[in-house]
Each structure stands twice: as C-alpha cells, then as structure tokens.
Structure 1
Amino acid sequence: MDTALVVVVVALALAFDYTNGFHDAANAIATSVSTRALTPRAALIMAAVMNFAGALLGTEVAETIAKEIVNLDAASTHAGLVVVLCGLIGAITWNMITWWFGLPSSSTHALIGGLLGAGLAGGLGIFWSAIVDKVVLPMIFSPLIGFFLAFFLMVGVLWLVRRASPTKTMRRFRLSQTASAAAMALGHGLQDAQKTMGVIFLALLTAGWADPDDGIPLWVKLSAAAAISLGTYSGGWRIMRTLGRKIIELDPARGFVAETVAAGVLYVNAFWLHAPVSTTHTITSAIMGVGATKRLSAVRWGVAKSIGIAWVLTIPAAAAVAAVCFWILHPMLG
C-alpha cells in the first residue's frame, strides 16, 4: 500500500507541477505578449525553455518545502504519505478554481496551504516559526517591494527618456522585453519547479526511499523541470488576459520594468532567503506599480481587488480542501 501511495504522490506532484506551469505561464509572458514584444507562441516556447533551465539552478526552495513546513517525523509512513497526497489535492483544486475564473492566484501558497491543512488534520507538528519567516513575511513584503520598486524605477526610466523619440524608445524597450521575459521565466522555474521537487522529496523521505543528507535525486529535478515546462508550453490564456490587459494597458517600457523588478525579487528570495515566494504576487504587484506612474486611476483597482481576495483566500481555501480530503481518505486507505 505504501509503495502504491508513493507512486500516486509522485504522479500527483508532477500533475500539480503541470497545472502550475499553465496556471503561471502568464507570469512570465503576459506583459511581453500584451505589448507585442513577442508572439504568443514564441513567448510560450521561450518561457518553457527558461522554466526548465531555472528548475535546475538550485534546490534551496525545495529543501524549505520538504523540511520546514510539516513535521512528518512523528507520523507513520502511511499517514505521512496521505498528508502529502491530500496537500497536493488541495493545491490542485484551488489552482483549477482560480484558473477557471482567470484569477492569478499563487500556486506556491496553494501548495503550502494544502500541506498545512492536511498536516493539521492529521494532528502533525507544524514549523510555525519557519512558516512565519519564509512564507508569511515574504508573502507580505514581496508584493510591496515589487510595487514600490517598480513604481520608482519606472519614474526614473521616464525621466531618463523624457527627451528621446517615443517611437525609437518603445522599439528598444520592446526588444529589451525579450531579455526581461526570459529572466522572469527563469525565476519562475527557479521558484515554482523547486516546490514540486520538495514535495516529491518529502514523500521519498517519508517512505525511507531517500537520504536527507544526499539531497534531491537527479531524476526528481529533471521530472519536475520537464512537467512545469510542458505545462508552461500548453499556455494559460485566461490568466494572461488578466495580467496583460485587465489590470492596466501596458506599453513596452512598463512591461520591461515590471518583468525586471519581479525577476529580481524572485532571485533574491530563492538564492539568499531560500523563501518560496509567489511569482504571481510579485509580477502582479510590479505591473500595478508601473501602471500607477501614469496615474492611480489608470490601474483597474476593481480587478486588483478581486486578485487580492484570491490571494487572501488561497492558503485557507487550499488548507480546507486538503483537511477534508485527509479526513475522508485516511480511514479509506488505512
């Protein structure tokens, strides 16, 4: 039974990674497509390749997911695997709901919420201190930093090009967006694919199929990278429309600045803080920041409010689904 559960968890984790790819594909390419810097197909191919590359750049975020969310040491192998399974079900369910309504919610926080809900339902210990330091605080500060950094950087860019030819300037920024979109896609792979690696590694550790001192197996890294790349290539058109057009009509200069700032925030959190931050929150807040430089009313705050509500609900909603799944599946599989 436990062997079958491990196989199911790994398969479901890769399915989550795939949904993460098409759910969050818009994070990397919506601005470039909406400003016509890249065609949709070219943008998807580029994002898929860079997602794959980013997934292989490190394992710090994956280690955080595997070791600093839920304490499975006191649980039986069977109970631990059911917790991971139900956490994934909660995350995938919330991803599909928000994708259907075109809301750019956080796959990161859906996964963390799912693990928390299943862990609490199973009576397991939670690493609350690590969650506050590496989930809650980055969840609050990353969007704020993204918004204000994008705002002030955009103000600086506007001042630098104030006397330049608008046509030539926008053409240059449109070309520059190829690089900034690639950087954003690399950061997305660096952050989001690692979370799937962490979940698979957590399942393997629970079953005794991996040694924590040996690190994450290569096959886990490659399979997670491939799944998120395939998901990205399949596209996420509903959410792309929200990010690229419904929040604000972006021009190439604002798209370039938003992507550059968001990518920088992702890299800092991954390499230095080892914090699993939301690529969705980061790029959305950066888009709002550059949009506010036109005028505050240029940002469609009603859409932003809907996105904000989805952000707030993500962790508790995914946790609730995962907890209910645990209460149903644990007796059935036990």
Structure 2
Amino acid sequence: MLLALVIIVFLALTFDYINGFHDTANAIATVVSTGVLSARKAVLMAGILNFGGALMGVEVATTIAKGIADSSLVVPAVVVAALLAAIAWNLITWWFGIPSSSSHALVGGLAGAVVAHAGRSALHTAKLEEVATFLVVSPILGFFLAMLLILALLWICRRMLGQRVNVAFRKLQLLSAGAMAFAHGTNDAQKSMGIIALALITYGKIASHGTSVAVPLWVKLACALAMGLGTLSGGWKIIRTMGTKIVKLRPIHGFAAETASAIVILGAARAGIPVSTTHVIAGSIMGVGASTNVSAVRWGIAGNMVVAWVLTIPVSALLAGGFLKLVAPFF
C-alpha cells in the first residue's frame, strides 16, 4: 500500500513538473517576445514566482480532490490512470509545440478514469459542469478584458511619444509578467496538490470533512517546488508559439495581456475553480491583437490551438480509460 501511494505522489509531482515547463510560456512568452527580459531571466523570475504562488491557498486543490468525483468511489488505480493520461497528453502537445491545457488534461483524465471505474453516477456533474463552463468562459473573459485594457491604455497614451510609451511599459511589464507567473502558480500547482490529497484520502492518511480538505504542508511544498523547477527548465517550443506566432506584441500590448490574464486566473483560484492558464493568456493575446487590427492575429495558428483545446478533455478521458485497464491489476 505504501509503495502504491509513493508511486502516485511521484506521478503527481511529475505531472506538476511537466505542467511547469509545458506552461512556462503562459507566464513569460509576452515579456520575452517584447524584449523586456531575456529568456533566461524571465524563466528564473517565473520559476520563483510560481513557487510563491503555489503556496497561496488550497481552494483549487479542494475542487480537484472533492469536487470532480465522489472520493469514496475513487481507488488508487483511478488516480494513477488520470495522471498517466494527463502526462501523456501534455508531452504529446509539448512535442508539437501546441499550447494545450494541463487543466483540461487533468480534469478530463480524472473524469474518464472515474467513469471507466464506477460509472457516470460517481461524478459530481454540477461541479464538473461549473468547471467545464469556466474553462470555456475564462479565455473569453481574458479576450475582452485585455481588449478593453489595451484600448484604455492606448487612449491614455495617445499624446505621448512612442519611445516614451515603450520605455514606460518595458518597466511596467516586469510587474505584469510577475503577476502572471504568480497567478499561474496559485492555480496550476494546486491541481497536483488536489490529486495527492485525493490519494491520501483514498488511503485514509488524511481526513475529509464535508467539502473541505486539509492539504498537508509537505504536499504544498513538494508541488510548489516541482512546479518551480519545471518552469525553470523552460518550454521553448510553446514559448515561441505563444510569444511570436499568434500576434506581434509591443510592451504596452504585453502589459495589457498579462494584466488581464492575471486578474482572471487569480479570481478563478480564489473561487476554487481550476482554469487553463494557457487558454486565458492566449485569449488575452488575441484580444490585444484584435483590438488594434483583426488581421494582425494569425487566426490559423489560433484555430489550431482551439482544435487542441477541444480535443484535450475527450482524448484525456479516453487515454485514462485505457490506462485504467493497464494499471488496475497492480493497484
């Protein structure tokens, strides 16, 4: 039993690490593409702030541990299958440089494994629908918030010299990129915390009362460290897609996109709703680009990303169902 729990914790931290380098682009793509920071400095900043953000709250972790499915019907094999599916999809999309959602992959994997093991009745459909809805709504919020913000900033700066605006927002973008990295840590690292907490509940290692989950300190620190180290390793393929292939950005655009994204992600984390930081920052970048010139957005690249987003949950669910058959005899 102890060995099985160790394997689950290892897989959860592996997912967290992969999430870190897979989603590094979410926090630093814009600040790198605008030339405000070198890639190395941006990755270091993001890694540190990811670690700090991961220690702030457990609302999202509670949703993953208790909100998606009836924890009393979740067996260790289900958790393992969900993690393997999420890891596999993250690696596939990373290899091809596609900014997909780690959140979608984990939620889809967990839901698919639960259904394969105990049927649809084991899912908390109301909460799952809420999570799924916000996974769709959050990038739209990012799009329009970033659009409004860039239009307001351009109006405020309309009489300033372009060079002066550039210099000012190169400095301000350091703050917005930092806020985005911190927000990424608050939301994404908590997903792995939730998975480990779910495993600990399954093995009777921690108590579960009502809708609350007491996530142990060692779990918080381990997930924060895994996320931070993953971010430090960098996901250069996806950074290029996010930072240069969707739309060409200047510091003022990067500031607007990052600020809008940080607001949406931090708000969702506070409400305990796991969202896709990839979706939100991509939506914000598109909103910034579309506000100035619709044709400036490379909609073909954006379309490919949307296809990957749509596929992530069902593919992860199917992968989890397959993995469950493979691992069930061993757990």
Of 202, 205, 208, which residue of structure 2 is paired with 1:206? 202
Instruction: Write the mapping of 1:183-332 to structure 2, written as runs, cut at 5 A.
Output: 183-213=179-209, 215-271=214-270, 273-330=271-328, 332=329
Secondary structure at the residue paired with 2:72? coil
Secondary structure at the residue paired with 1:315? helix
Give me the CA root mean square deviation: 1.0
Q: Distance in 2 between matches of 1:151 and 1:307?
A: 20
Residue 108 (str. 1) matches residue 103 (str. 2)? yes
Q: Distance in 2 between matches of 1:74 and 1:161?
A: 57
Q: Distance in 2 between matches of 1:70 and 1:3?
A: 23
Secondary structure at the residue paired with 2:158? coil
Residue 148 (str. 1) matches residue 148 (str. 2)? no
Residue 130 (str. 1) matches residue 98 (str. 2)? no
Alignment check: 8 A CA contact 2:71 2:201 kept: no
Q: Distance in 2 between matches of 1:183 and 1:303?
A: 26
- Report how far residue 3 of structure 1 moved: 1.9
Identical amino acids, percent of aligned pairs: 50
Deviations 1:113-146 (A, max 9, x none): 110111111025001100111x111112111111
Deviations 1:225-257 (A, max 9, x none): 000000000001000000000001111000000
The two structures have a TM-score, normalised by structure 1, of 0.96
Aligned to 2:76: 81
- Unpaired segments of 5 or more residues in structure 1? none
Deviations 1:147-177 (A, max 9, x none): 0111121111111111101001111101111
Q: Distance in 2 between matches of 1:221 and 1:206?
A: 18
Aligned to 1:171: 167
Amino acid paired to 1:5: A
Q: Distance in 1 between matches of 2:53 and 2:268?
A: 14
Instruction: Write the mapping of 1:16-165 to structure 2, written as runs, cut at 5 A.
Output: 16-74=15-73, 80-124=75-119, 125-133=122-130, 135-165=131-161
Q: Distance in 1 between matches of 2:326 and 2:208?
A: 30
Q: Distance in 1 between matches of 2:38 and 2:6?
A: 38
Secondary structure at the residue paired with 2:99? coil
Amino acid paired to 1:194: Q
The runs of 4+ residues in structure 1 deviating greater than 2 Å are: none
Secondary structure at the residue paired with 1:122? helix
Q: Distance in 1 between matches of 2:64 and 2:234?
A: 26
Alignment check: 8 A CA contact 1:5 1:82 kept: no
Amino acid paired to 2:88: T
- Report how far residue 212 of structure 1 moved: 2.2
- Report how far residue 194 of structure 1 moved: 0.3
- Unpaired segments of 5 or more residues in structure 2? none
Q: Distance in 2 between matches of 1:216 and 1:329?
A: 26
Secondary structure at the residue paired with 1:292? helix
Amino acid paired to 1:12: L
The two structures have a TM-score, normalised by structure 2, of 0.97
Aligned length: 326
